[in-house]
Structure 1
Amino acid sequence: MVVSLLVAAGACARRDANDAPGITAPPQVTRPPSVERQINATTTDAAIAAVPTGAEAPHVVINPSPAITPQGKLLVFLPGTLGRPSQYSYILRAAAARGYHAIGVNYVNQVAMGTLCQFSADPNCYWQARSVVVFGGGTPVAGQSAVTPANSIVNRVTRLLLSLRTTAPSEGWGQFLRADNTVDWSSIVLAGHSQGGGHVGVLAKSVLLARAVYFSSPEDWNELTDRPAPWTSARANVTPASRQFGFGSDFDTLVPNAHASAHWTAMGLSAPASGPVLVDGAASPYGGFQQLRTLLSFNPASTALTAALKNHGVTVVDTSTPVDGTGAPLFNGNGVWAYLCFP
């Protein structure tokens, strides 16, 4: 058989090379095991404050599975309002299993953006409020507390990567930092749920990302105009629209799909004339469109406090996202998360 001959020829070639004087076989690459860690942001930078105060929620960090070829990409996931990275472990583990590095970021997310800007007459309210959280500094909007640059999302990601480069040098975290120790955003898949997804949008308008993914987000809706916040359409994408994807639930009342789709369309994400593509019973690549939706119900075992939160978490929150017969997250097994985040 041809295959047998090729295998035999390869074995001979390896034996001959090893036997030849002065020639050594290349060393075998041993990758470190995949480890899931929880790391407090306050340990990475003395200027970072505990969030929440007095009961800090740690970052969640997972290096890639050694069984998979490393992808050279990092999934950075931003939780929703009051969310903790540990509540999004399924998507982080899905990344690591596919050869991606993964971190869930704890950040200043105690106040919902809609509470601040939903009825604001200032068209820049949402952008301003989000910029305070993403970059730090700037002028907070009414009802928003100041966020120092040290406590910004950008600094928290930067300091975590710097720390991991030092404490886990064999795991390759340093590849996501430039020579000047700033984040190489072009190697990052940035995803977020709810409030976190809106922050993804701000960064997609500000830096070049490998990918931007919106789970049940954003909901920067102005009730006075009954329209999306102007930043979604008026500000140019730095990350091309072709690299951005959205996924929502038809039963979500906190971020209705009609609102989410209006934001996605304003940002340039493609969809058929009928709206976001239904993934249930369909297969990737979903016509190549970038707006997706589901009609699946939340996991009956969900511990979310209300039905609204359970439906809001269907797309990605551990406790609410539907699971298959083995208890594994359904959207990981059926290819939806891979299509969105892990091309």
Structure 2
Amino acid sequence: MFSFVSCRYIQSFVIISLLISILGCKKESDDKKDFLNLLTLGLYARSCAGQNAFPSSGTVGTLTRLQIPPSQTSSGISNYNQPHYVFPPQSGVTKKNILSVFYPGTGSSPCEVNTFLQHGATRGYHVVGLSYPNGEAVNTVCNQGDAKSDSSCFENLRKEVLTGVDLSPYVSVDVTNSIEGRLLSLIQYLIQSRPGEGWDQFLTGNQMNWSLVYVGGHSQGSGHAALQGKNRTLGRVSLYSGVSDYSIKDSNLPSWMGGTQNTPGSSYYGLIHENDPIANFSGNSNQVTNAWLNQFSMTGPITNTNVGLPFNNSRSLVTTVCNGMGSFGLHICPMTNGFQSIWNYISFP
């Protein structure tokens, strides 16, 4: 069952992980550079901890940033209450009239992908970084105890987190607290509290207008986005450092990944560091990219981002930009500053 991990614990874990991963594989000559990187990352993590504990809406440059605790949108939400990050489209930019929703990875909050979210708003998108139950990695839960013998663990756990339908004994998420429940409550709240910003176009009655929604996610969040694309007809699905679901007992990918897909493969895009050992959970360095092609029908050759636009018109991109960093650094690499033109291609066309 998902544990309720405190914000302070998460941030401490992130800092320690970064220390271990970066210092563990760098040359002595890079020590000064590493120290500056770690200092920056540590300060950023503490900044997120503060913003999560004391959310405050305001402006960032020419953007409006709203930090909205999920409990503010529904009385039925009390846990995983780190704020949603919401950005209306940047003023003066042509509006896309598309809702871009992003799911952070395990133990992470929308604050950690703030740069990515802001960039979407500068492109004319209505942007939401969603806070949702993400305390434990799906691969951790489904590869231990009774769950490792349950072939439906991965799919049912993810479906319950997505929809709140009671399907899994390994997680307890109701409809209100699910990804889709939280998103609906947030959009309803924004329609009431921010009239005139265009949030109403993303609802039809009391249901999401999924054709106007782009979803994306990092790590665990990429798996939720990918499965949502199987179940819903979405405008686009973007996968960063995932999907990594893998059954150790069966030495195979779970069956849901190859299931019927409502959002076509032509609308799925992905980016991963080619040496990411966390996403490639099985130890096969091609695990994720093979799944993109064979399970999600993401056409085009695996293409390194260094070739530049239009990336061979591929939907499956890899990067080597963060080479020399440790496991965690490689895993978070696609979400770091400097990938804006690639984010445009994958998530914000």
TM-score, structure 2 normalization: 0.77
Q: Which deviates the most, 243-252 or 101-110?
A: 243-252
Match of residue 278, structure 1, among 304, 307, 310: 304
CA drift of 1:299 comes to: 10
The structural deviation recorded for 1:283 is 1.6
Higher relative contact order (CA 8 A, sep 6+): 2
1:20 equivalent in structure 2: none
The match for 2:344 among 334, 338, 342 is: 338
The CA distance in 1 between the partners of 2:338 and 2:125, in whole Å, is 20
1:254 aligns to what?
278
Distance 1:100 1:57 in 2: 22
- 2:113 aligns to what SS in structure 1? helix
- 2:23 aligned residue: none
The structure 1 residue matched to 2:90, chosen from 65, 70, 73, is: 65
Q: C-alpha deviations, 1:34-65, integer Å up to 9, x for none?
A: 310100000101111221xxxx3100000001
RMSD: 1.6
Larger Rg: 1
Output aligned runs, 1:117-136, within 5 Å. Answer: 117-118=142-143, 120-136=148-164
How far the C-alpha of 1:203 sits from its partner, in A, is 0.6
Q: Which digits, 9 at most, give the CA deviation of each residue in 1:42-95, with x for residues without a partner?
A: 0101111221xxxx3100000001121100011100000001001001111111
Segments ≥4 residues shifted beyond 3 Å: none
Match of 2:263 in 1: 239
SS at match of 1:213: strand
Aligned to 2:26: none
SS at match of 1:140: coil
Using the TM superposition, give the Cα deviation of residue 298 of structure 1 relative to its aligned residue in structure 2, in angstroms.
7.0
Equivalent residue, structure 1, for 2:75: 46
Letter of the structure 2 residue corresponding to residue 149 of structure 1: V
What are the within-5 Å matches in structure 2 for residues 1-343 of structure 1? 34-51=63-80, 56-118=81-143, 120-141=148-169, 144-178=170-204, 180-233=205-258, 235-256=259-280, 257-265=285-293, 266-272=295-301, 276-280=302-306, 282-297=307-322, 307-316=326-335, 321=336, 329-332=337-340, 335-343=341-349
CA distance in 2, matches of 1:66, 1:211: 24
* Structure 1 residue 245, shift from structure 2 partner: 0.8
Is the contact between residue 298 and residue 313 of structure 1 (CA under 8 Å) also seen in structure 2? no
CA distance, structure 2, for counterparts of residue 118 and residue 145 of structure 1:
14
The one-character-per-residue Cα deviations of 1:249-302 (angstroms, maximum 9, x if unpaired) are 023110125121122121111132xxx21002x2222111111000111798xx
The sequence identity of aligned pairs, in percent, is 29
Deviates more, 1:181-190 or 1:76-85: 181-190
Q: Do the aligned residues in 2 keep the contact of 1:118 with 1:220 (CA within 8 Å)? A: no
2:235·2:267 contact (CA, 8 Å) conserved in 1?
yes
Matched residues in 1 for 2:177 and 2:279: separation? 27
Match of 2:28 in 1: none
Conserved 8 A contact 2:153-2:168: no
- Report what 2:59 is aligned to: none
Q: Distance in 1 between matches of 2:324 and 2:225?
A: 26
Return closer, same or farther for 1:100/1:174 CA change in 2, 3 Å cut-off.
same
Q: What SS does the corresponding residue of 2:286 show, helix, strand or coil?
A: helix
Q: Name stretches of at least 5 consecutive residues in structure 2 with no aligned partner.
A: 1-61
Deviations 1:108-156 (A, max 9, x none): 0001100121362332211011011000131324xx2311111000010
Cα deviation, residue 204, structure 1:
0.3
SS of the residue corresponding to residue 214 of structure 2 reads: strand
What residue identity is the alignment partner of 2:96? Q
The structure whose residues are more often helix, as a share, is 2
